Amino acid sequence: MIGILIVAHGSLADSLVECATHVLGLQPSGLATLDFIGHADPDERERALQARLAELDEGDGILVLTDVYGATPSNTLCRLLEPAHIEGVSGVNLPMLLKALNYRETLTLTQLVERIVEGGRNSINHISETMCNAATGR
């Protein structure tokens, strides 16, 4: 099973896991978080990330989801990427996480990355009156 790690600022990672657990009705296995709070030493953060990756590695790869590309979580990850084994995607949102959790046992890591990037983009919508009417039947 592909491991999933969310690395984000503050408590965003933990909040996303809490939301996914609520939607799915259970805490998914092989899912972990790493919250970057304050101004820790970059080497310390890298060691913490390496430790989380080692915990999740079951041999099928690890998908790391970060909040903002170019910020500390993704920059720290950049030093640890291993193509087709440790892959990263920025801009994590709940639909992206749910898609990753639902497809990680049937797709390769490369395919999963493609699927969740597409799913993350497609989940961004302007909620218009027309959409609301269609969704609610009004």
What is the pLDDT, as a whole number, of residue 5?
98
- Taking each helix axis from N to C end, the angle separating 12-24 and 94-103, rounded to the nearest 10 degrees, works out to 60
Q: Is residue 2 part of a domain?
A: no
> Per-residue pLDDT tens for 81-127?
999 999 999 999 999 999 999 999 999 999 999 999 999 999 998 88
Count the domains in the chain: 1
CATH code of the domain in which 112 resides: 3.40.50.510
Q: Is residue 129 part of a domain?
A: no
- Cα separation, 36 vs 105, in Å, equals 28
Q: Is residue 115 part of a domain?
A: yes
Q: Is residue 132 part of a domain?
A: no
Split at pLDDT 50, 70, 90, the class of 67 is very high
| Residue 55 domain boundaries | 10-33+40-70+77-122
* Mean pLDDT value of segment 61-80: 96
Is the entire prediction scored with pTM above 0.85? yes
**3-class state of residue 85 by DSSP:** coil
What is the pLDDT, as a whole number, of residue 39?
80
Look up residue 81 and give its DSSP letter: -
Q: Is residue 102 part of a domain?
A: yes
Q: Is residue 135 part of a domain?
A: no
> Per-residue pLDDT tens for 27-58?
999 999 999 987 878 899 999 999 999 999 99
* Mean pLDDT value of segment 16-23: 97
Is residue 4 within 8 A of residue 62, CB to CB? The reply is yes
Split at pLDDT 50, 70, 90, the class of 16 is very high
